[in-house]
Amino acid sequence: MNYTDIDNKFNDALEKAIASLAFPQELPSLEENVETKGGLSNKDKETLYQYQRHLQKTLPSPMAVDLEGDRIVIHFAYSTIEPLDDPTDYTPYMRSIMEYMASKGMNVEPFPKITLKEDLIEGSWVFGKTAYYDPMEREVVLYTSGRHPKDILRSFAHEMIHHIQNLEGRIGNDINTTNVNESDRLKEIEKEAYLEGNICFREWTDRMTGK
């Protein structure tokens, strides 16, 4: 395939992706969009994030969509994004956390399925996912892009509390939302996960480092 073919495929895909966006018929003036210091308003930033995520899902996988200030930049993924030469192996640390929880009498078995996801869109979006627990599959999913290893392990400890709640039958069909403002039951479940998960992770960290 020559460069002309690649350019044509790129342009065709880009045109289809842009055509699928619901752009407003009339754009407000620049003064209404931009704050006095020259930065985009929070509302406009969120709109850009939404467009970025939509484009990334629509364009073929070799293409990447990044935000640079007030612009969306589309490029071939392999041209600017290189794989890590030595990615962190989280397995021994996660096993150690689960063993520590078990030593405290916490009901962690059977152990959950653990999935790590590299997602540049979630990793660059302010409100992107960091982790979640699937009670039906008994699976902990962790997003790793752009995160400190310790932060990923802290998320793991949090999701392990949800796994324990699930094994104990405390996560059921009575929760039909992911918004804690809409469910007191969900809020209590999350309070426990934040408190117990973070404290357990801090205890484990201090034990591992000898502090």
Q: What is the pTM of this model?
A: 0.60
Matching residue, tokens 């990447």 = 64
What is the pLDDT, as a whole number, of residue 88? 73
User: DSSP characters for 2-14?
Assistant: -HHHHHHHHHHHH
pLDDT of residue 24: 45
Do 71 and 149 share a structural domain? Answer: no
Task: Note the pLDDT tens digit of each residue in 12-21.
Answer: 666 666 565 5
Least confident of 38-42, 77-81, 88-92, 103-107: 77-81
Residues 168-183: pLDDT tens digits? 999 877 777 788 888 8
Q: Grade residue 27 by pLDDT with cuts at 50, 70 and 90.
A: very low
Q: Which domain holds residue 174?
A: 91-209
Q: Which of 114-123, 142-151, 181-190 has the lowest mean pLDDT?
A: 114-123
**Helix, strand, coil % in the chain, rounded to nearest 5:** 50, 15, 35
Domain match, 73 and 106 both: no
pLDDT-derived band at 126 (thresholds 50, 70, 90) equals confident
The pLDDT tens digits of the residues spanning 177-211 come to 788 888 888 999 999 999 999 999 999 999 988 76
Are residues 108 and 172 part of one domain?
yes
Model pLDDT, residue 12: 66
The H-or-E segment that residue 137 falls in is none
Closest CA to 53 of 17, 2, 101, 5: 17
Evaluate whether residue 128 is within a structural domain.
yes
**Domain CATH number, residue 135:** 1.10.10
Question: Is the separation of the CB atoms in 140 and 116 below 8 Å?
Answer: no
